[in-house]
Structure 1
Amino acid sequence: MYSSVQKYTAELIGTFVLVLVGCGSAATAGEQLGFLGIAMAFGLSIVAMAYVIGPISGCHINPAVSLAMLLGKKLSGKDFAGYVVAQILGAVAGSALLYAIIDSTGQTVAGLGQNGFGEGYGIGISALMAVIVEIVLTFVFIYAILGVTASSDNRSTAGIVIGLSLVLVHILGIGLTGTSVNPARSFGPALLLGGDALSQLWVFVTAPFIGAALAAFAYRVLNSRT
Protein backbone atom coordinates (compact mmCIF):
# COMPACT_ATOMS: atom_id res chain seq x y z
CA MET A 1 0.00 0.00 0.00
CA TYR A 2 1.42 3.37 -1.02
CA SER A 3 0.97 6.48 1.11
CA SER A 4 -0.92 9.55 -0.02
CA VAL A 5 2.34 11.48 -0.28
CA GLN A 6 3.79 8.84 -2.59
CA LYS A 7 0.69 8.84 -4.79
CA TYR A 8 0.46 12.60 -5.04
CA THR A 9 4.17 12.94 -5.73
CA ALA A 10 3.90 10.31 -8.45
CA GLU A 11 1.06 12.25 -10.07
CA LEU A 12 3.08 15.47 -9.91
CA ILE A 13 6.08 13.83 -11.58
CA GLY A 14 3.97 12.13 -14.23
CA THR A 15 2.16 15.33 -15.19
CA PHE A 16 5.46 17.21 -15.21
CA VAL A 17 6.86 14.74 -17.74
CA LEU A 18 3.71 14.79 -19.88
CA VAL A 19 3.70 18.58 -20.15
CA LEU A 20 7.45 19.01 -20.57
CA VAL A 21 7.77 16.36 -23.29
CA GLY A 22 4.40 16.73 -25.00
CA CYS A 23 4.01 20.50 -24.93
CA GLY A 24 7.76 20.92 -25.30
CA SER A 25 7.78 18.91 -28.51
CA ALA A 26 4.99 21.08 -29.90
CA ALA A 27 6.63 24.33 -28.84
CA THR A 28 10.21 23.62 -29.91
CA ALA A 29 9.96 21.16 -32.79
CA GLY A 30 6.35 21.20 -33.95
CA GLU A 31 7.13 22.04 -37.57
CA GLN A 32 9.74 19.30 -37.80
CA LEU A 33 7.70 16.65 -36.02
CA GLY A 34 4.30 17.38 -37.53
CA PHE A 35 1.02 16.37 -35.93
CA LEU A 36 1.91 12.68 -35.73
CA GLY A 37 5.23 13.38 -34.05
CA ILE A 38 3.65 15.64 -31.46
CA ALA A 39 0.89 13.09 -30.87
CA MET A 40 3.51 10.40 -30.32
CA ALA A 41 5.37 12.62 -27.84
CA PHE A 42 2.23 12.92 -25.70
CA GLY A 43 1.36 9.24 -26.05
CA LEU A 44 4.85 7.93 -25.31
CA SER A 45 4.98 10.12 -22.22
CA ILE A 46 1.94 8.26 -20.93
CA VAL A 47 3.44 4.88 -21.82
CA ALA A 48 6.70 5.66 -20.03
CA MET A 49 5.02 6.97 -16.90
CA ALA A 50 2.40 4.20 -16.78
CA TYR A 51 5.01 1.56 -16.07
CA VAL A 52 6.81 3.66 -13.47
CA ILE A 53 4.12 5.42 -11.47
CA GLY A 54 1.16 3.27 -12.53
CA PRO A 55 1.67 0.84 -9.65
CA ILE A 56 1.83 3.78 -7.22
CA SER A 57 -1.00 6.11 -8.24
CA GLY A 58 -2.59 4.54 -11.31
CA CYS A 59 -0.86 7.15 -13.51
CA HIS A 60 -3.86 9.41 -13.99
CA ILE A 61 -1.76 12.56 -14.62
CA ASN A 62 -5.01 14.16 -15.75
CA PRO A 63 -7.84 15.61 -13.62
CA ALA A 64 -10.40 14.29 -16.13
CA VAL A 65 -9.15 10.74 -15.60
CA SER A 66 -9.26 11.24 -11.85
CA LEU A 67 -12.86 12.49 -12.12
CA ALA A 68 -13.86 9.38 -14.07
CA MET A 69 -12.26 7.19 -11.39
CA LEU A 70 -14.03 9.18 -8.67
CA LEU A 71 -17.39 8.69 -10.40
CA GLY A 72 -16.59 5.01 -10.83
CA LYS A 73 -15.86 4.76 -7.10
CA LYS A 74 -12.25 3.81 -7.72
CA LEU A 75 -10.92 6.96 -6.08
CA SER A 76 -11.91 8.69 -2.85
CA GLY A 77 -12.91 12.34 -2.67
CA LYS A 78 -9.81 13.09 -0.63
CA ASP A 79 -7.50 11.47 -3.15
CA PHE A 80 -9.32 13.16 -6.02
CA ALA A 81 -8.52 16.55 -4.52
CA GLY A 82 -4.94 15.52 -3.80
CA TYR A 83 -4.45 14.15 -7.30
CA VAL A 84 -5.80 17.28 -8.98
CA VAL A 85 -3.62 19.62 -6.92
CA ALA A 86 -0.56 17.47 -7.65
CA GLN A 87 -1.37 17.31 -11.35
CA ILE A 88 -1.75 21.08 -11.61
CA LEU A 89 1.53 21.64 -9.77
CA GLY A 90 3.27 19.18 -12.07
CA ALA A 91 1.85 20.88 -15.15
CA VAL A 92 2.94 24.33 -13.95
CA ALA A 93 6.42 23.01 -13.14
CA GLY A 94 6.73 21.39 -16.57
CA SER A 95 5.57 24.57 -18.28
CA ALA A 96 7.93 26.69 -16.19
CA LEU A 97 10.93 24.58 -17.17
CA LEU A 98 9.87 24.67 -20.82
CA TYR A 99 9.52 28.46 -20.57
CA ALA A 100 13.02 28.72 -19.05
CA ILE A 101 14.51 26.53 -21.79
CA ILE A 102 13.06 28.65 -24.59
CA ASP A 103 13.78 31.94 -22.80
CA SER A 104 17.44 30.94 -22.31
CA THR A 105 17.96 31.15 -26.08
CA GLY A 106 17.00 34.82 -26.10
CA GLN A 107 13.84 34.16 -28.07
CA THR A 108 10.50 35.62 -27.09
CA VAL A 109 8.43 32.85 -25.54
CA ALA A 110 5.34 32.92 -27.74
CA GLY A 111 4.26 29.31 -27.42
CA LEU A 112 4.31 26.57 -24.80
CA GLY A 113 2.11 24.05 -26.59
CA GLN A 114 -0.96 25.88 -25.32
CA ASN A 115 -4.48 24.98 -26.39
CA GLY A 116 -6.74 27.39 -28.22
CA PHE A 117 -9.35 28.05 -30.86
CA GLY A 118 -10.56 30.83 -33.14
CA GLU A 119 -8.79 32.90 -35.76
CA GLY A 120 -5.07 32.29 -35.84
CA TYR A 121 -5.20 28.95 -34.05
CA GLY A 122 -5.34 25.69 -36.03
CA ILE A 123 -8.09 25.81 -38.62
CA GLY A 124 -9.93 28.47 -36.63
CA ILE A 125 -12.90 26.64 -35.13
CA SER A 126 -15.40 28.50 -32.92
CA ALA A 127 -15.62 28.34 -29.12
CA LEU A 128 -18.73 26.16 -29.32
CA MET A 129 -17.05 23.73 -31.69
CA ALA A 130 -13.95 23.67 -29.47
CA VAL A 131 -16.15 22.64 -26.54
CA ILE A 132 -17.76 19.89 -28.62
CA VAL A 133 -14.40 18.64 -29.93
CA GLU A 134 -12.88 18.48 -26.45
CA ILE A 135 -15.91 16.70 -25.00
CA VAL A 136 -15.85 14.08 -27.75
CA LEU A 137 -12.09 13.52 -27.70
CA THR A 138 -12.05 13.27 -23.91
CA PHE A 139 -14.96 10.84 -24.02
CA VAL A 140 -13.05 8.58 -26.43
CA PHE A 141 -9.86 8.76 -24.37
CA ILE A 142 -11.50 8.16 -20.99
CA TYR A 143 -13.79 5.42 -22.32
CA ALA A 144 -10.72 3.56 -23.59
CA ILE A 145 -9.02 3.96 -20.21
CA LEU A 146 -12.03 2.62 -18.32
CA GLY A 147 -12.22 -0.37 -20.63
CA VAL A 148 -8.59 -1.38 -20.53
CA THR A 149 -8.23 -0.88 -16.77
CA ALA A 150 -11.40 -2.80 -15.89
CA SER A 151 -9.59 -6.14 -15.72
CA SER A 152 -6.32 -6.91 -13.98
CA ASP A 153 -5.57 -9.25 -16.89
CA ASN A 154 -4.76 -6.16 -18.96
CA ARG A 155 -2.24 -4.81 -16.49
CA SER A 156 0.81 -5.54 -18.63
CA THR A 157 -0.57 -3.84 -21.74
CA ALA A 158 -2.77 -1.10 -20.27
CA GLY A 159 -0.07 1.55 -20.46
CA ILE A 160 0.48 0.93 -24.16
CA VAL A 161 -3.24 1.02 -24.94
CA ILE A 162 -3.77 4.23 -22.98
CA GLY A 163 -0.75 5.87 -24.59
CA LEU A 164 -1.90 4.93 -28.09
CA SER A 165 -5.40 6.18 -27.26
CA LEU A 166 -3.89 9.55 -26.41
CA VAL A 167 -2.00 9.49 -29.72
CA LEU A 168 -5.28 8.72 -31.47
CA VAL A 169 -7.18 11.72 -30.12
CA HIS A 170 -4.20 14.01 -30.70
CA ILE A 171 -3.98 13.13 -34.38
CA LEU A 172 -7.38 14.69 -34.95
CA GLY A 173 -7.35 17.30 -32.22
CA ILE A 174 -4.00 19.04 -32.72
CA GLY A 175 -5.20 20.95 -35.76
CA LEU A 176 -8.43 21.92 -34.02
CA THR A 177 -7.66 22.84 -30.40
CA GLY A 178 -4.16 21.53 -29.86
CA THR A 179 -5.86 18.66 -28.01
CA SER A 180 -6.32 19.15 -24.30
CA VAL A 181 -8.46 16.30 -22.92
CA ASN A 182 -6.61 17.23 -19.74
CA PRO A 183 -7.31 20.38 -17.69
CA ALA A 184 -3.91 20.31 -15.97
CA ARG A 185 -2.03 20.04 -19.28
CA SER A 186 -3.89 23.16 -20.46
CA PHE A 187 -3.57 25.09 -17.20
CA GLY A 188 0.24 25.08 -17.01
CA PRO A 189 1.00 26.73 -20.37
CA ALA A 190 -1.98 29.11 -20.08
CA LEU A 191 -0.91 30.35 -16.65
CA LEU A 192 2.57 31.26 -17.85
CA LEU A 193 1.59 32.71 -21.21
CA GLY A 194 -1.56 34.61 -20.24
CA GLY A 195 -3.37 36.33 -23.10
CA ASP A 196 -5.62 34.22 -25.30
CA ALA A 197 -4.32 31.00 -23.77
CA LEU A 198 -5.58 32.08 -20.35
CA SER A 199 -8.83 33.68 -21.52
CA GLN A 200 -9.75 30.53 -23.46
CA LEU A 201 -8.74 28.16 -20.67
CA TRP A 202 -12.35 27.71 -19.52
CA VAL A 203 -13.01 25.51 -22.56
CA PHE A 204 -10.13 23.20 -21.73
CA VAL A 205 -11.16 22.84 -18.11
CA THR A 206 -14.91 22.40 -18.47
CA ALA A 207 -15.10 20.32 -21.66
CA PRO A 208 -12.71 17.55 -20.54
CA PHE A 209 -14.57 17.21 -17.24
CA ILE A 210 -17.88 16.91 -19.12
CA GLY A 211 -16.38 14.35 -21.50
CA ALA A 212 -15.00 12.35 -18.58
CA ALA A 213 -18.34 12.35 -16.77
CA LEU A 214 -20.12 11.19 -19.93
CA ALA A 215 -17.57 8.43 -20.45
CA ALA A 216 -17.98 7.22 -16.86
CA PHE A 217 -21.76 7.20 -17.28
CA ALA A 218 -21.62 5.41 -20.64
CA TYR A 219 -19.22 2.79 -19.29
CA ARG A 220 -21.45 2.12 -16.29
CA VAL A 221 -24.54 1.75 -18.49
CA LEU A 222 -23.11 -0.08 -21.50
CA ASN A 223 -20.42 -2.24 -19.97
CA SER A 224 -22.20 -3.55 -16.88
CA ARG A 225 -23.53 -7.05 -17.16
CA THR A 226 -27.06 -7.78 -16.00
Structure 2
Amino acid sequence: MAEFVGTALLVFFGVGSLVLAGDYINAVGISFAFGFTLIAIAYAFGRISGCHVNPAVTLGVLLAKRIDIRTAVEYWVAQLVGGIVGAAVLFLLAKQVPRLVTSDAFGSNGYGGRSPVGIGGGGAFLAEVLLTFLLVFIFLTVTSKVALVGTEPLPVGLALTAVNLVGIPLTWTSVNPARSLGPALFAGGGALSQLWLFLVAPMIGGVLAAGLHMLTHPGQPVAEEEQVAGARPHTLWGRRHGGRGPATGEPEAKGPEAA
Protein backbone atom coordinates (compact mmCIF):
# COMPACT_ATOMS: atom_id res chain seq x y z
CA MET A 1 0.00 0.00 0.00
CA ALA A 2 2.86 2.39 0.80
CA GLU A 3 4.42 1.80 -2.64
CA PHE A 4 1.04 2.13 -4.35
CA VAL A 5 0.08 5.39 -2.63
CA GLY A 6 3.60 6.81 -2.83
CA THR A 7 3.88 6.21 -6.57
CA ALA A 8 0.41 7.61 -7.17
CA LEU A 9 1.34 10.78 -5.28
CA LEU A 10 4.63 11.14 -7.15
CA VAL A 11 2.87 10.87 -10.50
CA PHE A 12 0.00 13.15 -9.53
CA PHE A 13 2.13 15.97 -8.14
CA GLY A 14 5.25 15.51 -10.28
CA VAL A 15 3.56 15.03 -13.63
CA GLY A 16 0.79 17.36 -12.49
CA SER A 17 3.30 20.18 -12.13
CA LEU A 18 4.16 19.69 -15.80
CA VAL A 19 0.59 19.28 -17.07
CA LEU A 20 -1.17 21.91 -14.98
CA ALA A 21 1.56 24.43 -14.15
CA GLY A 22 4.35 23.86 -16.67
CA ASP A 23 3.77 27.17 -18.45
CA TYR A 24 4.16 29.02 -15.15
CA ILE A 25 7.00 27.22 -13.38
CA ASN A 26 9.03 25.91 -16.37
CA ALA A 27 11.61 23.11 -16.19
CA VAL A 28 13.19 24.31 -12.96
CA GLY A 29 9.90 24.38 -11.11
CA ILE A 30 8.87 20.98 -12.48
CA SER A 31 12.20 19.51 -11.39
CA PHE A 32 11.80 20.80 -7.85
CA ALA A 33 8.20 19.56 -7.77
CA PHE A 34 9.40 16.02 -8.46
CA GLY A 35 12.25 16.30 -5.95
CA PHE A 36 10.21 17.86 -3.14
CA THR A 37 7.38 15.35 -3.64
CA LEU A 38 9.80 12.43 -3.39
CA ILE A 39 11.34 13.84 -0.20
CA ALA A 40 7.92 14.34 1.38
CA ILE A 41 6.56 10.89 0.57
CA ALA A 42 9.86 9.30 1.63
CA TYR A 43 9.45 10.76 5.10
CA ALA A 44 5.84 9.54 5.09
CA PHE A 45 6.39 6.00 3.80
CA GLY A 46 10.11 5.33 4.01
CA ARG A 47 9.94 3.44 7.27
CA ILE A 48 7.20 1.22 5.89
CA SER A 49 8.49 0.14 2.48
CA GLY A 50 11.72 2.03 1.88
CA CYS A 51 9.80 4.30 -0.52
CA HIS A 52 11.19 3.03 -3.82
CA VAL A 53 8.16 4.28 -5.82
CA ASN A 54 10.17 3.34 -8.93
CA PRO A 55 10.61 -0.10 -10.53
CA ALA A 56 14.20 0.76 -11.50
CA VAL A 57 15.05 1.48 -7.87
CA THR A 58 13.42 -1.76 -6.77
CA LEU A 59 15.45 -3.66 -9.39
CA GLY A 60 18.64 -2.07 -8.07
CA VAL A 61 17.72 -3.00 -4.50
CA LEU A 62 16.93 -6.57 -5.62
CA LEU A 63 20.30 -6.95 -7.38
CA ALA A 64 22.01 -5.52 -4.30
CA LYS A 65 20.44 -8.48 -2.44
CA ARG A 66 18.48 -6.37 0.04
CA ILE A 67 15.09 -7.83 -0.90
CA ASP A 68 13.96 -11.13 -2.45
CA ILE A 69 12.32 -11.62 -5.83
CA ARG A 70 8.82 -12.08 -4.40
CA THR A 71 9.01 -8.74 -2.59
CA ALA A 72 10.36 -7.08 -5.74
CA VAL A 73 7.46 -8.38 -7.84
CA GLU A 74 4.96 -7.14 -5.24
CA TYR A 75 6.65 -3.72 -5.30
CA TRP A 76 6.58 -3.59 -9.12
CA VAL A 77 2.87 -4.39 -9.25
CA ALA A 78 2.06 -1.79 -6.59
CA GLN A 79 4.19 0.86 -8.32
CA LEU A 80 2.78 0.32 -11.80
CA VAL A 81 -0.82 0.29 -10.56
CA GLY A 82 -0.10 3.35 -8.41
CA GLY A 83 1.32 5.19 -11.42
CA ILE A 84 -1.81 4.44 -13.44
CA VAL A 85 -4.14 5.54 -10.63
CA GLY A 86 -2.17 8.73 -10.02
CA ALA A 87 -2.34 9.54 -13.74
CA ALA A 88 -6.07 8.77 -13.80
CA VAL A 89 -6.81 11.22 -10.99
CA LEU A 90 -4.63 13.83 -12.70
CA PHE A 91 -6.45 13.22 -15.98
CA LEU A 92 -9.82 13.85 -14.32
CA LEU A 93 -8.52 17.11 -12.89
CA ALA A 94 -6.91 18.18 -16.18
CA LYS A 95 -10.21 17.71 -17.98
CA GLN A 96 -11.67 20.43 -15.77
CA VAL A 97 -9.22 22.99 -17.16
CA PRO A 98 -10.58 24.71 -20.30
CA ARG A 99 -8.48 24.38 -23.46
CA LEU A 100 -5.94 22.08 -21.81
CA VAL A 101 -4.74 19.55 -24.40
CA THR A 102 -4.10 16.03 -23.12
CA SER A 103 -4.12 13.97 -26.35
CA ASP A 104 -0.59 12.74 -27.22
CA ALA A 105 0.78 14.97 -24.45
CA PHE A 106 -0.33 14.83 -20.80
CA GLY A 107 3.18 14.90 -19.37
CA SER A 108 4.22 11.78 -21.28
CA ASN A 109 7.80 11.10 -22.28
CA GLY A 110 9.04 11.14 -25.86
CA TYR A 111 11.86 11.48 -28.35
CA GLY A 112 12.15 12.75 -31.90
CA GLY A 113 9.24 15.09 -32.62
CA ARG A 114 7.93 14.58 -29.09
CA SER A 115 11.15 15.79 -27.46
CA PRO A 116 11.58 19.49 -26.64
CA VAL A 117 15.02 19.49 -28.32
CA GLY A 118 14.23 16.77 -30.89
CA ILE A 119 16.65 14.18 -29.53
CA GLY A 120 16.57 10.88 -31.42
CA GLY A 121 15.70 7.45 -30.08
CA GLY A 122 19.33 6.44 -29.49
CA GLY A 123 20.14 9.63 -27.64
CA ALA A 124 16.98 9.36 -25.57
CA PHE A 125 17.81 5.77 -24.64
CA LEU A 126 21.33 6.73 -23.55
CA ALA A 127 20.06 9.74 -21.60
CA GLU A 128 17.48 7.69 -19.70
CA VAL A 129 20.03 4.99 -18.86
CA LEU A 130 22.53 7.52 -17.52
CA LEU A 131 20.02 9.61 -15.60
CA THR A 132 18.45 6.53 -14.00
CA PHE A 133 21.92 5.22 -13.20
CA LEU A 134 22.62 8.35 -11.15
CA LEU A 135 19.30 8.22 -9.30
CA VAL A 136 19.50 4.52 -8.39
CA PHE A 137 23.19 4.69 -7.47
CA ILE A 138 22.55 7.57 -5.09
CA PHE A 139 19.61 5.68 -3.58
CA LEU A 140 21.66 2.54 -3.01
CA THR A 141 24.61 4.47 -1.63
CA VAL A 142 22.91 6.76 0.87
CA THR A 143 20.66 4.01 2.17
CA SER A 144 23.57 1.69 2.97
CA LYS A 145 24.81 3.61 6.02
CA VAL A 146 23.06 3.73 9.40
CA ALA A 147 24.63 7.16 10.03
CA LEU A 148 22.27 8.66 7.45
CA VAL A 149 19.08 7.56 9.21
CA GLY A 150 16.58 10.41 9.06
CA THR A 151 18.35 12.26 6.24
CA GLU A 152 18.41 9.72 3.39
CA PRO A 153 15.43 11.26 1.51
CA LEU A 154 17.29 14.53 1.00
CA PRO A 155 20.09 13.39 -1.35
CA VAL A 156 17.72 11.11 -3.25
CA GLY A 157 15.24 13.96 -3.72
CA LEU A 158 18.06 16.25 -4.84
CA ALA A 159 19.24 13.58 -7.28
CA LEU A 160 15.73 13.36 -8.76
CA THR A 161 15.68 17.15 -9.07
CA ALA A 162 19.05 17.11 -10.85
CA VAL A 163 18.10 14.41 -13.34
CA ASN A 164 14.90 16.28 -14.16
CA LEU A 165 16.81 19.50 -14.75
CA VAL A 166 18.92 17.68 -17.33
CA GLY A 167 16.28 15.31 -18.70
CA ILE A 168 13.21 17.50 -19.15
CA PRO A 169 14.58 19.24 -22.27
CA LEU A 170 15.61 15.86 -23.67
CA THR A 171 12.75 13.42 -23.00
CA TRP A 172 10.59 15.11 -20.36
CA THR A 173 12.49 12.81 -17.95
CA SER A 174 11.26 9.36 -17.11
CA VAL A 175 13.91 7.51 -15.01
CA ASN A 176 10.86 5.65 -13.68
CA PRO A 177 8.73 3.20 -15.71
CA ALA A 178 5.75 3.75 -13.39
CA ARG A 179 5.95 7.51 -13.99
CA SER A 180 5.95 6.89 -17.77
CA LEU A 181 3.28 4.20 -17.98
CA GLY A 182 0.37 6.06 -16.38
CA PRO A 183 0.55 9.30 -18.40
CA ALA A 184 1.20 7.42 -21.66
CA LEU A 185 -1.97 5.35 -21.25
CA PHE A 186 -4.07 8.52 -21.04
CA ALA A 187 -2.11 10.47 -23.67
CA GLY A 188 -2.34 7.76 -26.32
CA GLY A 189 -0.94 8.20 -29.82
CA GLY A 190 2.81 8.66 -30.05
CA ALA A 191 3.19 8.42 -26.29
CA LEU A 192 2.18 4.75 -26.40
CA SER A 193 4.30 3.91 -29.44
CA GLN A 194 7.41 5.31 -27.72
CA LEU A 195 6.61 3.97 -24.26
CA TRP A 196 8.85 0.90 -24.64
CA LEU A 197 11.99 3.03 -24.40
CA PHE A 198 10.93 4.54 -21.07
CA LEU A 199 10.14 1.11 -19.67
CA VAL A 200 13.40 -0.53 -20.76
CA ALA A 201 16.08 2.17 -20.47
CA PRO A 202 15.46 3.03 -16.78
CA MET A 203 15.66 -0.67 -15.85
CA ILE A 204 19.04 -0.95 -17.59
CA GLY A 205 20.18 2.10 -15.68
CA GLY A 206 19.10 0.41 -12.45
CA VAL A 207 21.12 -2.71 -13.32
CA LEU A 208 24.26 -0.67 -14.03
CA ALA A 209 23.84 1.29 -10.80
CA ALA A 210 23.51 -1.90 -8.77
CA GLY A 211 26.62 -3.33 -10.44
CA LEU A 212 28.74 -0.29 -9.63
CA HIS A 213 27.36 -0.11 -6.11
CA MET A 214 28.40 -3.69 -5.41
CA LEU A 215 31.93 -2.81 -6.56
CA THR A 216 32.25 0.44 -4.62
CA HIS A 217 30.32 -0.65 -1.52
CA PRO A 218 30.97 -4.38 -1.12
CA GLY A 219 29.93 -6.51 1.82
CA GLN A 220 26.83 -4.60 2.99
CA PRO A 221 28.61 -3.25 6.12
CA VAL A 222 25.38 -1.95 7.65
CA ALA A 223 23.73 -5.35 7.71
CA GLU A 224 26.86 -6.88 9.25
CA GLU A 225 27.13 -4.21 11.93
CA GLU A 226 23.47 -4.55 12.91
CA GLN A 227 23.73 -8.33 13.03
CA VAL A 228 26.68 -8.13 15.42
CA ALA A 229 25.00 -5.46 17.55
CA GLY A 230 21.69 -7.31 17.57
CA ALA A 231 19.85 -4.27 16.28
CA ARG A 232 16.26 -4.36 15.09
CA PRO A 233 15.64 -4.89 11.38
CA HIS A 234 15.90 -1.70 9.36
CA THR A 235 14.17 -0.40 6.27
CA LEU A 236 16.01 1.36 3.49
CA TRP A 237 15.09 4.81 4.77
CA GLY A 238 15.66 4.08 8.45
CA ARG A 239 15.00 1.75 11.32
CA ARG A 240 11.68 0.06 11.90
CA HIS A 241 10.31 0.39 15.41
CA GLY A 242 8.60 -2.69 16.82
CA GLY A 243 7.54 -5.28 14.25
CA ARG A 244 8.91 -8.79 13.94
CA GLY A 245 12.33 -10.24 14.26
CA PRO A 246 14.46 -10.71 11.13
CA ALA A 247 14.89 -14.48 11.33
CA THR A 248 12.06 -16.11 13.22
CA GLY A 249 9.21 -13.82 12.28
CA GLU A 250 8.17 -13.82 15.95
CA PRO A 251 7.25 -10.56 17.69
CA GLU A 252 10.22 -8.90 19.30
CA ALA A 253 10.37 -9.23 23.07
CA LYS A 254 9.55 -6.09 24.95
CA GLY A 255 9.54 -5.14 28.62
CA PRO A 256 11.19 -6.98 31.51
CA GLU A 257 10.85 -10.39 29.85
CA ALA A 258 13.20 -9.26 27.09
CA ALA A 259 16.11 -9.59 29.53
TM-score, normalisation: structure 1: 0.93
Q: State the partner residue of 1:126.
A: 120
Q: State the partner residue of 1:154.
A: 148
Q: State the partner residue of 1:204.
A: 198
Percent of aligned pairs with the same amino acid: 42
Amino acid of the structure 2 residue aligned with 1:164: L
Q: Say if 1:197 and 1:55 are closer, same or farther in 2 by CA, change over 3 A.
A: same
> 1:174 aligns to what SS in structure 2?
helix
> 1:112 aligns to what SS in structure 2?
coil
In the TM superposition, what whole-angstrom CA distance separates every residue of 1:8-63 from its partner, at most 9, and x where no partner exists?
x0000000110000000001111211111000000011100111100000000000
1:91 to 83, 87, 93: 83
1:216 aligned to 2:210? yes
| CA deviation after TM superposition for structure 1 residue 223, in Å | 2.5
Q: For residues 104 and 174 of structure 1, what CA distance do their matches in structure 2 show?
A: 25
2:102 to 96, 109, 112: 109
Q: State the partner residue of 2:46.
A: 54
1:69 to 27, 52, 61: 61
Amino acid of the structure 2 residue aligned with 1:210: I
1:80 aligned to 2:72? yes
| CA deviation after TM superposition for structure 1 residue 104, in Å | 2.1
| CA deviation after TM superposition for structure 1 residue 120, in Å | 4.2
Q: State the partner residue of 1:163.
A: 157
Q: State the partner residue of 1:6.
A: none
| CA deviation after TM superposition for structure 1 residue 174, in Å | 0.3
Q: State the partner residue of 1:5.
A: none
Q: For residues 45 and 179 of structure 2, what CA distance do their matches in structure 1 show?
A: 18
Q: State the partner residue of 2:172.
A: 178
Q: State the partner residue of 2:29.
A: 37
In the TM superposition, what whole-angstrom CA distance separates every residue of 1:174-217 from its partner, at most 9, and x where no partner exists?
00001110000000001111111111011101000000000000
1:17 to 9, 13, 22: 9
Q: For residues 222 and 101 of structure 1, what CA distance do their matches in structure 2 show?
A: 45
| CA deviation after TM superposition for structure 1 residue 112, in Å | 2.1
Q: For residues 201 and 112 of structure 1, what CA distance do their matches in structure 2 show?
A: 13
1:143 to 112, 128, 137: 137
| CA deviation after TM superposition for structure 1 residue 119, in Å | 1.8
> 1:50 aligns to what SS in structure 2?
helix
Q: State the partner residue of 1:4.
A: none
> 1:176 aligns to what SS in structure 2?
helix
Q: For residues 219 and 109 of structure 1, what CA distance do their matches in structure 2 show?
A: 39
Q: For residues 97 and 14 of structure 2, what CA distance do their matches in structure 1 show?
A: 20
Q: RMSD of aligned C-alpha atoms?
A: 1.1
Q: For residues 55 and 66 of structure 2, what CA distance do their matches in structure 1 show?
A: 14
Q: For residues 60 and 29 of structure 1, what CA distance do their matches in structure 2 show?
A: 26
Q: For residues 37 and 106 of structure 2, what CA distance do their matches in structure 1 show?
A: 17
